[in-house]
Amino acid sequence: MAWKTVETKRTEAKIAAVKEDIASNPNKLETEQAKDHGLNKMDMSYIVREDLRMKGRAVAKVQLLTVQQRQKRLERSKKILNLLK
C-alpha cells in the first residue's frame, strides 16, 4: 500500500510570511500567529521549529512594582545580605 502525499501548508510563501510576522512581533503567541495565518497549531509549530529553526519561548508575566514596593524589596534584600555576612 502506497502512502498518499498530503498537500502541505508549509509553502515557501507561508514560511516567509511567518518569519516576517515573528520579526515584527516576537512576543506574539504561536497559537495567535497560527490563527492569523490560517494554520493549525501543529503546522505553525513545524514551521517555527523545522523550517525556521527557532525555539518557542514563553513570555514570563511579572508584577509591576510601585516605587514603594521596590524600596521595601531593596531594604529586605539588604537585611538578608547583612545576615549572610
Give the three cell numbers for residue 18. Answer: 511567518
pTM confidence score: 0.59
The three grid cell numbers given for residue 71, joined into one nine-digit string: 524600596
Q: How far apart are CA 4 and CA 59, in angstroms?
A: 39
- Which pLDDT does position 67 carry in this prediction? 93
Asked if 51 contacts 9 with a C-beta cutoff of 8 angstroms, the reply is no
Residue-wise pLDDT tens digits, 22-50 = 999 888 888 999 999 999 899 898 899 99
